[in-house]
Amino acid sequence: MQRDERQRSNEGMAKWSNGIFNAPALQHSNIPVMRVTQARFRTRSRAAFALYEVLLGVAIFAIGVIALGRSVENCLNASTISAEESAVRQILSDRMAVIQAAPGVPDPEKEFKINSNYGMVRLIQKSALAGLTEEDKTLLSGINLVMLTAQWQHAGVPQSKRIQFYVYRSE
C-alpha cells in the first residue's frame, strides 16, 4: 500500500486537507483540497436544483388535482342529466301506456304539467289519423299517429324529448 501512496504523491496529488484551511496539509488523507467558493457553489446549485424539482412537482400535482376536480364535476353533471332524462322517459312511457290502454280514440290535443324531482315537465299530446295506405292505394282507417312531447329545463336551457307511436281503434 505504501507503493500506491508514493505513486499518488508523484502524480501531483500529494496535497490533501481535512477541510480546515488554516491547518497544515495532511499527507495520506481521504479529503481532497477544494476551494471554498467551489464547495459553496456546488452546495447551492444542488439545493436550488432540488427546490426547482420540488416546485415543478407541486405544480404538476396542482394541475392534476384541478383536472381531477373538473372531471368529477363533469361526471356529476352527466349523472344529473342522465337521471333527468330517465325520469322524462318514464313520464313518456307512462303516458303512452295510458293512451294504449284507453278504449277510445286518443284526444286530438292535450297538455299536462307534471311536477318531477327535477322541476316542471310539460307533456304535450297530439294525435291525428295516420293516413296510411296499402299497396293498392286503399286507405287504412282507424289508425292514429300519437305524438308525445316532453319539455323541461336543465340549468335554464330548454330540453325536449319526443316519441311517436300508432294506436289502432276500430270504428
The predicted-structure confidence for 107-133, as pLDDT tens digits, reads as follows 999 999 999 888 899 999 999 999 898
Look at residue 3 and tell me if it is in a domain: no
Which of 9-13, 137-141, 161-165 is modeled with the greatest confidence?
Answer: 161-165
Residue 7 domain-assigned (yes or no):
no
Question: Is residue 24 located within the same domain as residue 73?
Answer: no
57 and 90 inside one domain: no
Query: Order of strands across the sheet with 109-116?
Result: 109-116, 119-129, 143-154, 157-168
pLDDT of 1 over the 70 cut: no
Q: How many domains does the chain have?
A: 2
Determine contact, residues 16/31, Cβ cutoff 8 Å: yes
| Phi, psi (rounded to 5 degrees) for 65 | -65, -40
Q: 14 vs 157, which has greater pLDDT?
A: 157
Contact 125, 110 (CB under 8 A): yes
